Amino acid sequence: MKLYLFYFLLFSQMGLIAQEAASYQIRTVAFYNLENLFDTKNDTLIFDDDRTPTGKDYWTEERYINKVAQMSKVISEIGSIENKTAPDIIGVCEVENLKVLQDLVHHNSLTQTNYGIIHFDSPDERGIDVALLYKKDAFIPVNFNSHRLLLFDLDGKRNYTRDQLIVEGLLDNEKIYFLVNHWPSRSGGEARSRPYRLEAAKLNKRIIDSVRRQDINAKIISMGDFNDDPVDPSFKKILNVQKSYKNLDSLSLYGPMEKLYRKGKGSLAYRDKWNLFDQLYMTSTLLDKKKHTYSYWKAGIFTPSYLMDPKGKYKGYPLRTYAGGSYIGGYSDHFPVYLYLIKKAKP
């Protein structure tokens, strides 16, 4: 979609204003934690018993259909403030399998979008995976792979978690890489679980470094539910993600979400504290000020009022599917996040 931006240059000595119009192509990249998008069938290979009609959550076909409708509605509107269409690229997590993704993209809210799906089954004990959805008329996948994160506790027991997905492709004939993540949770406490997320950050860095060894100018966007905030050690000590354009070199990573976090913004809330676990960050190759190729413009958190709890103790928090063990028919316990890529359109 084309975006028209106007730049004003003030000549104070002459008291004149000169106006120059430029036309830009815009693409939206987003991420959304779909909060346990499970089908209703009991898969004996994973711990999905709660999300079945006879399970603790009483997960019926009616509730599943409503959940798919809710998620598809949200996805269709992410980033629509500037780009009047659904995201061109969207990473998702907490999906049970390929079937629920197919049901999602074939819902009436998204049918016209014509999304393709890239998905692998992860070894996560609950069976939740990550995936990438992409508009077939905007992005052509060239190569994709799923990287396993091997974790072990102090007793040497395997801790099964989600894989990290990398997709290489052509966005309007420009090569770009997308990484989709869902790092280990904070179960057991932040400090106790921190080593697992540090290992996830190391894997993320190894994947990015391996791409750069092949192409130092590669454009890479990593997105996901990291279960860490932008200021946590995984981002600051392992990945070295910077919040400012200043002092960035060719190997630097830029994270636009930290500025939002420091302003008190978040994508989820827990115990009266906002966290910004849902993030996107990128290589400095996406920070071209001249915008001759796709470059970063701005990022945000998608927070329309219908995604928020309207009243009570949790007013303003994400309106969840379940709360306190009871079904309330909301959307997700996370808000989606997004960024815009723009480039100058050809005359």
Torsion-angle region of 58 (φ positive above 0: left; ψ -120 to 50: alpha; else: beta):
left
- pLDDT given at position 11: 32
- E strand or H helix at 9: strand 2-11
Mean pLDDT of the chain: 92
- Which pLDDT band, with edges at 50, 70 and 90, does 84 fall under? confident
- Which pLDDT band, with edges at 50, 70 and 90, does 21 fall under? low
* Per-residue CA distances from 285 to 44, 68, 251 (Å): 45, 36, 9
Give CA–CA dist 208/217, Å, rounded: 12
The pTM score is 0.93
Average the pLDDT over each of 156-160, 203-207, 336-340 and give the range with the smallest value: 156-160
- pLDDT given at position 336: 98
Pairing of strands 129-135, 115-119: antiparallel
- Backbone φ and ψ for 100, nearest 5 degrees, come out as -65, -30
Q: What's the pLDDT tens digit per position in 289-309?
A: 889 999 999 999 999 999 999
- pLDDT given at position 1: 56
What own/partner pairs with CB < 8 Å and gap ≥ 24 does 47-50 have?
Answer: 47/125, 47/126, 47/127, 48/96, 48/126, 48/127
